[in-house]
Each structure stands twice: as C-alpha cells, then as structure tokens.
Chain A
C-alpha cells in the first residue's frame, strides 16, 4: 500500500528525475541564502530561485533534445 502511495505521489510530482533533483537543490540553495544572508539575502531569495529554475528548465530541455537527437541519429545509422 505504501509502495502504491509512493509511486502515485512520485508520478504526480516527477516527470524527469534530474529536473526534480535540480529543483530541490535550487530550493535548498535558496533556503541557505535566506538563512545565511540575513535581511539582504532574504529580499533576493525569490529572484535567485526564479533565475535558477528558469536556467534549470532550459538546460534540462536542451539535454533532453540532445539525447533524442543522439538516439535518432544512432538509430538511423
């Protein structure tokens, strides 16, 4: 039952493991900045998180595209 619950929750939140891990790391870095950076750090956390996640999305999709191109070209050979 716990395995079913876990797989349902995992499927609900994760499409690509690397993207999910990257997002969690970005959240952790943001949390670190907020607590270590004082008031100044706290005021930029949202922007830092936004920039990190946007970069993560583009990088992850680029990697996915390169993977598909490699698979397609190796299958054609």
Chain B
C-alpha cells in the first residue's frame, strides 16, 4: 500500500496504540488460561503449547500480512480491511456497552481462572508422561486469542510496511508486558480494566474502519489522519449515550435478572 518507506510518525502511533491495547486485552485472556494450566499441571507442556501457538501465529502474520500488503492494490485493501475493522470493532463496542449497562456480566479473569483450575484438577495428571491435555489447552487458548491479535496486526499493518512493523512490535511488546506481569504475580491479571480497554479499542477499531473505507472510495478527510480523533470521539460519545439509555431502560438489577431469565 502507498509508499512503504515514508510513513509519518502520527500514522505509526495511530497504528501502534490500538494494536498494543487490543493485543494486551487478548494476551490477558490467554495468560489467564496458561497460568491455570501451569499452576495445576506443571509448566513444561503449557509453555511448549504457548510457543507452538505463537510460532503458528507468527507464520500467519508473516505470510498473510506481507502478502496482503505487497500484492493487493491499495484502495482494495483499505476497503476490505476497513469493512472488517468496522465489523470487528462493532462487536467489541457492543459487548462493552452491554457490560457497562449490566446486561452482560463483566468478564471476570478470577472466575475464569478458578473454573479452569477446577476443570484441570478434575482431569488428573499421570506422572512421567508428556501432558498433552496441558499442551492442547494452552495451544488452543493462545491460538484463539492470538488469532484476534494477528487480525489486528494485519489490519493496522495494512497502512504500509512501516505500519505493519509498528503494529507487530506493539503487539509483541503487549505480549511481553502481560506475560511478564502474569509470570511475576503467578495469578490472573484481575487489575486490568478489561471492559474499559475493550470499550476504547472498539471505538478506535470502528473509527479506523470508517476512515479507511471512505478513503478507499476516494474521500479526502479534512486534515487526513488528524480527523481520526474526532471520529473516535463520535463513537465514544454515541456509545456513552447508549450506556446511559440502557441504564435508564433497565434500572437496578438488570444484570442479575437478565442472568436468571
């Protein structure tokens, strides 16, 4: 896409920031499951599973990402990536709004962790054998959550070679930070305000989707990338209004009652 050698710092920052935050959210979810496997069944198999899944994802990003950026025409790629980002972002934003309004339960890493621990303990472990259960669970968790990271990296990297590098580095740094904190604490990262992050990143993904799709159709945004913060603010404002509207529609106890329906 575009001229890969000349990408301004603002564009790089705009690609790296959502890639970092969105990847961190996904890494928190994967780290919770890997931690649960490691604590209950030992660390060897889940760590090998994690490395295998990470390698698989690296190959996917390297092949699909680079191929897309270098082969597909710029306007077509921007249009497709814009549409996909919009759909992906709307999914995150909708869920975050419903969670803030109490209609969907807030994602509780501690609860997920305790449930995984109980399930894994129930499965038992034979000594002196490679723990395939631990390997498969860690591999699946990292691959599934990592697929979303790969999608985000490829989408934000679609702005050009330097953007792909910045999005990839942002995702890797997010992974290192989350895994390091998880390994140091040896407990799920419950302090991460996951819904706030999903709310913010959902708005950013939708904004990039709208921005790129319109650019693909030939529109020139006023101030180019400088108009993105305005679009993000519009999504945040509309979502905040939606939270207020839902809270007015379903006052106190909607979450508990909705769970019981």
Contacts and interface: CB of A to CB of B under 8 A. Distances in A.
- Chain A complexes with chain B: yes
B101 to A, nearest CB: 7
Given A57-B242, A64-B98, A42 B218 contact: yes
B90 A46 contact: no
Contacts of B242: 57-58, 61-62
Interface of B: 83-84, 86-88, 90-91, 93-95, 97-98, 101, 103, 144, 147-148, 151, 206, 210-211, 213-215, 217-221, 231, 234-235, 238-239, 241-242, 245-246, 249-250, 254, 257-258, 260-261
Contact of B249 (A46, A57, A69, A76): A69
A22 B22 CA distance: 24
Contacts of B257: 72, 75-76
Given A12-B151, A20-B91, A42-B219, 7 more contacts: A19-B90, A46-B214, A50-B231, A54-B235, A54-B238, A65-B103, A69-B254
B148 A12 contact: yes
Contacts of B241: 58
A58 B231 CA distance: 16
A68 B245 CA distance: 13
Contacts of A69: 249-250, 254
5 contacts: A19-B90, A20-B87, A46-B210, A57-B242, A61-B246
A54 B21 CA distance: 23
B135 to A, nearest CB: 19
A23 B83 CA distance: 9
Max chain B Cβ within 10 angstroms of own Cβ: one of A19, A31, A54: A54
B147 A68 contact: no
B221 A27 contact: no
A35 to B, nearest CB: 8
Contacts of A43: 219-220
A72 B261 contact: yes
Nearest to B203: A57
Contact of A16 (B94, B147, B245): B94
Interface string A29-46: 011001100000011111
Given A34-B218, A49-B213, A53-B210, A64 B103 contact: yes
Contacts of B93: 57
Contact of B217 (A42, A54, A71, A72): A42
Contacts of B219: 34, 42-46
Contacts of B206: 53
Contact of A8 (B97, B147, B217, B245): B147
A50 B94 contact: no
Contacts of A49: 210, 213-214
Contacts of A30: 213-214, 217
A39 B145 CA distance: 42
